């Protein structure tokens, strides 16, 4: 007996369950926002605690060699000297043209106010909430969402949350669009037509399907369908089995989608990159994760490009740094002071910002970690002040409560 092809059967047996609901807050997405003005901001959350001492190596510090050994400056595959004191991890060599153009920079020895417990969950919560502590009764909405609430005419297209992971940094009352790579509908025009026929009598599902089509860059074109429901079901399953979709890594696809939206109405985008928790064999694992970060930044540059790129700032932040010493497993453990990565045509780059604290044991935090010399939120606040004109009082009391922004590091042109 032929099985009846209703909407729910179709969804259960095809990839559309991931596609038609891709814009739902139930899925982890990329986040975007749209507001008047020309400036764009991309925030990348580096989950796991990136080792800033390996990414930007302070080889000019006399204590560095004792802690980490040679900085690896020799040979074509070695670290790249930046300024005579700091050197860039060789896995980020593809970003050196940006450095030379003044479109890449870093801020060293930064952290949130989080100290000592070194929990990924609490550290990420504090980073994305933009707060000084996680005490009872404290609002957990994201600092980027609070930014949207202070921008005139902000609407859902102003900001996008992108990817599979929940993005607390954009959580809150202000509307935000969400997208995940699974929103790409790997379907032929016939299958899209079939899905539309099945869902047309249910406004909720039809609206979700049409939004998924739009977000996946599908054009919705269709042709006449012939055959039985089972024939059409076989067509859909064959289409799925053949694969398809866009080329490139997950980060490249996410960055490409973000870049396209930034060229349109979106002004703020956020996504995350996992894999920075390098307790073991860091020399083998960190280069792979750094390549993913480099791919994302370069894809953003290639997609946004031109005058829009010149108004764009990309900032990558992590919940905490890692220990100054290598552990017995060839890795590093959860630490404190870390590194912020900055890129974009709007950046005043080619500098490693921050007050370097030194790496002698007496200069380390708790004699184990890089000592933080500036709150990472201060750099973020000054970027928001320069890009979107937010007042210092607003930034220090509402966007980042209890923050003292300190001096302006003049990160943007």
Residue-wise DSSP of 150-191: TSTT-EEEEEEEESSS--GGG-SSS--EEE-GGGS----HHH
Chain centroid offset of residue 68 CA: 28
Distance CA 161, CA 176 (A): 7
35-181+250-399: CATH topology is: Alkaline Phosphatase, subunit A (3.40.720)
312: three-class secondary structure by DSSP? strand
Main-chain phi, psi angles of 304, to 5 degrees: -70, -55
Between these two residues, 67 and 165, which has the higher pLDDT value?
67
Nearest residue to 189 (alpha-carbon basis) of 242, 233, 236, 246: 236
Per-residue confidence (pLDDT) for residue 79, from 0 to 100: 96
Nearest residue to 272 (alpha-carbon basis) of 86, 128, 110: 128
- 238 DSSP β-pair partners: none
Per-residue confidence (pLDDT) for residue 227, from 0 to 100: 42
Nearest residue to 396 (alpha-carbon basis) of 146, 136, 138: 146
Main-chain phi, psi angles of 79, to 5 degrees: -65, 155
pTM above 0.75, yes or no: yes
Q: Who contacts 126 (Cβ-Cβ below 8 Å, separation ≥6)?
A: 112, 113, 114, 133, 134, 319
With 70 as the cut, is the pLDDT of residue 402 above it?
yes
Do 181 and 254 form a contact (C-beta atoms < 8 A)?
yes
Under the banding of pLDDT at 50, 70 and 90, the label for residue 253 is very high
Give 130-186 pLDDT, tens digit per residue: 999 887 555 579 999 999 999 887 776 788 888 877 789 999 998 888 888 765 544
Residue 377 class from Cβ within 10 Å (0-12 exposed, 13-18 middle, 19+ buried)? buried
Nearest residue to 341 (alpha-carbon basis) of 399, 276, 401: 276
Diameter over CA atoms, the chain:
79
With 90 as the cut, is the pLDDT of residue 306 above it?
yes
Strands (E), 187-325: 268-273, 312-318
Give 277-291 pLDDT, tens digit per residue: 999 999 999 999 999
Q: State the residue for tokens 């490249």.
A: 252
In the chain, where the domains are located: 1-24+185-245, 35-181+250-399
Dihedral sign, CA of 159, 165, 167, 171? positive
Q: What is the DSSP letter of 347?
A: B
Nearest residue to 107 (alpha-carbon basis) of 272, 318, 275: 318
Q: State the residue for tokens 């919940």.
A: 319
Percent over 70 (pLDDT), the chain:
74
With 50 as the cut, is the pLDDT of residue 393 above it?
yes
Average pLDDT over residues 333-342: 98
Between these two residues, 161 and 215, which has the higher pLDDT value?
161
Q: State the residue for tokens 């930014």.
A: 147
Rg (CA), the chain: 23
Average pLDDT across the chain, whole number: 82
Strands (E), 96-165: 104-111, 155-162
85: three-class secondary structure by DSSP? coil
Tokens of 377: 């939120």
Nearest residue to 64 (alpha-carbon basis) of 340, 317, 370, 374: 370
Distance CA 145, CA 147 (A): 5
Nearest residue to 111 (alpha-carbon basis) of 334, 326, 274: 334
Distance CA 289, CA 293 (A): 7
Percent over 90 (pLDDT), the chain:
62
Pick the most confident of 1-10, 212-221, 247-256: 247-256
Instruction: Please report which helix (H) or strand (E) contains residue 227, including its range.
Output: none
Average pLDDT over residues 176-197: 66
412: three-class secondary structure by DSSP? strand
Do 112 and 320 form a contact (C-beta atoms < 8 A)?
yes
With 80 as the cut, is the pLDDT of residue 11 above it?
no
Give 372-383 pLDDT, tens digit per residue: 999 999 999 999
Q: State the residue for tokens 């059409």.
A: 232
């Amino acid at each position: 007996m032929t099985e009846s092809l209703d909407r729910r059967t179709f969804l259960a047996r095809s990839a559309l369950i991931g596609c038609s609901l891709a814009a739902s807050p139930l899925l982890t997405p990329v986040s975007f926002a749209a507001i008047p003005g020309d400036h764009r901001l991309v925030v990348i959350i580096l989950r796991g605690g990136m080792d800033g001492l390996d990414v930007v190596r302070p080889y000019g510090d006399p204590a560095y060699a004792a802690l980490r050994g040679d900085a690896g400056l020799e040979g074509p595959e070695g670290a790249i000297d930046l300024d005579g004191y700091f050197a860039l991890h060789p896995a980020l060599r593809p970003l050196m043209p940006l450095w030379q153009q003044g479109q890449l920079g870093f801020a060293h020895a930064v952290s949130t106010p989080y100290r000592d417990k070194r929990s990924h969950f609490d550290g990420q919560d504090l980073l994305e909430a933009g707060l000084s502590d996680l005490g009872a009764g404290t609002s957990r909405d994201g600092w980027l969402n609070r930014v949207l609430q202070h921008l005139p005419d902000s609407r859902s297209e102003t900001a996008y949350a992108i990817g599979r992971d929940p993005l607390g940094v954009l959580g809150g009352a202000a509307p935000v669009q969400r997208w995940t790579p699974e929103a790409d509908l790997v379907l032929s025009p016939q299958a899209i037509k079939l899905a539309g026929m099945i869902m047309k009598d249910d406004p909720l599902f039809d609206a979700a399907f049409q939004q998924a089509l739009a977000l996946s860059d599908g054009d919705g074109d269709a042709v006449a369908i012939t055959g039985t429901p089972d024939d059409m079901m076989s067509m859909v399953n064959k289409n799925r089995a053949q694969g398809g979709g866009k080329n490139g890594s997950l980060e490249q696809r996410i960055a490409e989608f973000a870049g396209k939206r930034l060229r349109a109405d979106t002004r703020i985008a956020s996504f995350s990159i996992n894999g920075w928790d390098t307790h073991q064999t860091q020399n083998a694992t960190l280069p792979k994760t750094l390549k993913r970060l480099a791919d994302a930044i370069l894809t953003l540059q290639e997609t946004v490009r031109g005058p829009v790129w010149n108004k764009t700032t990309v900032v990558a932040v992590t919940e905490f740094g890692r220990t100054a010493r290598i552990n017995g497993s060839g890795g590093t453990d959860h630490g404190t002071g870390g590194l912020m990565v900055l890129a974009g045509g709007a950046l005043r780059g080619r500098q490693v910002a921050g007050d370097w604290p030194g790496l002698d044991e007496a200069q380390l935090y708790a004699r184990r970690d890089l000592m933080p010399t500036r709150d990472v939120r201060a750099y973020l606040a000054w970027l928001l002040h320069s890009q979107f004109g937010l007042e210092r009082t607003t930034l220090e009391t509402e966007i980042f409560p209890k923050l003292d922004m300190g001096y302006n590091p003049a990160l943007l042109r």
